[in-house]
């Protein structure tokens, strides 16, 4: 039995990426449930002013020294919520490699660095939980390939770590939200896309991605569902967050590659692709 925590048995919870969005909402939600929240952000000016926290620490998940200092200042941590993340939207052929490195360094290696810093204490106490914020949309949607690839890597690392920690008293859970109303998309790393063929594709892909959105969650709604994972006994590896998250997760299991490809191309308004010999589509009139 991997027990959760409660108001009567509060957890000491460190959350990364608390400057805005889900991270900030998690600080409010979990503190309101009686837990001892350690809010972290890259810049001191980004602290949430309310509610009162157990601690507010500067933390850059891409910097080993910053992580070591934050881990020492935090003291014993029961639950680590790896929420810090970045994104960049662009066709992969024109995505700057240094931007790709930044996305993976934050979303994948940052999560692993944090786990390595806090897991020894959890294992020593025979109780702990890592909640890694992933995504429900883990297929190759145009423009989102880099972000989806980073979250797919995070999912595999999380599954592996969960198995490696079996019997230690520490578990790993993936929270998989879909669209959430935050500044995350607006704050994505800028990538300039100019010229044919990708300028037109980028415009069409933006429209398609907007049309895909179902029931969009507020940051508070997402935070409430993620906070429930702190309380839950024996949580499964993957937990969809919200109805749209559940829909997309189900589609990953039920919609095959050919159906997925056709639906995306139809949504983009793409012409029929050339055949394997490079011939253009025939005129069927």
Active site positions, annotated: 19, 134, 147, 151
* DSSP helix/strand/coil, 180: strand
> CA 211 to CA 267: how far, in whole Å?
9
Between the CA of residue 256 and those of 205, 250, 268, what are the distances in Å?
21, 12, 18
Contact 27, 18 (CB under 8 A): yes
> CA 174 to CA 126: how far, in whole Å?
20
> CA 214 to CA 179: how far, in whole Å?
8
Structure tokens at 50: 């309310």
Taking each continuous run of H as one helix and of E as one strand, the counts in the chain are: 9, 9
Structure tokens at 144: 């989102």
Q: What is the largest CA-CA distance in the chain?
A: 72
Residue 240: enclosing H or E segment and its boundaries?
Answer: strand 238-241
Burial class (CB in 10 A: 0-12, 13-18, 19+), 54: middle
20 C-beta neighbours (distance < 10 Å), count: 16
> CA 199 to CA 142: how far, in whole Å?
12
């Amino acid at each position: 039995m991997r027990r959760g925590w409660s108001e009567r048995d509060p957890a000491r919870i460190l959350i990364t990426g608390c400057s805005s969005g889900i991270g900030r909402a998690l600080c409010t939600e979990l503190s309101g449930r009686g837990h001892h929240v350690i809010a972290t952000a890259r810049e001191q000016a980004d602290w949430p002013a309310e509610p009162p926290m157990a601690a507010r620490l500067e933390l850059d998940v891409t910097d080993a020294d910053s992580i070591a200092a934050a881990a020492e200042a935090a003291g014993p941590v029961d639950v680590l919520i790896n929420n810090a993340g970045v994104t960049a939207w662009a066709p992969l052929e024109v995505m700057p490699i240094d931007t790709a490195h930044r996305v993976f360094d934050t979303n994948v290696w940052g999560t692993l660095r944090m786990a390595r810093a806090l897991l020894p204490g959890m294992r020593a106490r025979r109780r702990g939980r890592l909640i890694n914020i992933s995504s429900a949309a883990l297929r190759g949607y145009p423009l989102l390939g880099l972000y989806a690839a980073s979250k797919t890597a995070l999912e595999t690392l999380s599954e592996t770590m969960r198995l490696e920690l079996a019997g230690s008293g520490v578990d790993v859970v993936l929270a998989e939200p879909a669209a959430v109303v935050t500044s995350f998309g607006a704050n994505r790393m800028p990538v300039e896309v100019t010229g044919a063929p990708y300028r037109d594709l980028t415009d069409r892909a933006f429209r398609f991605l907007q049309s895909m959105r179902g029931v969009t969650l507020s940051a508070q709604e997402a935070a409430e569902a993620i906070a429930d994972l702190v309380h839950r006994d024996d949580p499964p590896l993957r937990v969809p967050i919200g109805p749209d998250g559940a829909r997309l997760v189900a589609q990953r299991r039920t919609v095959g590659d050919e159906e997925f490809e056709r639906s995306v191309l139809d949504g983009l308004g793409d012409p029929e692709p050339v055949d394997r010999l490079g011939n253009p589509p025939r005129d069927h009139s």
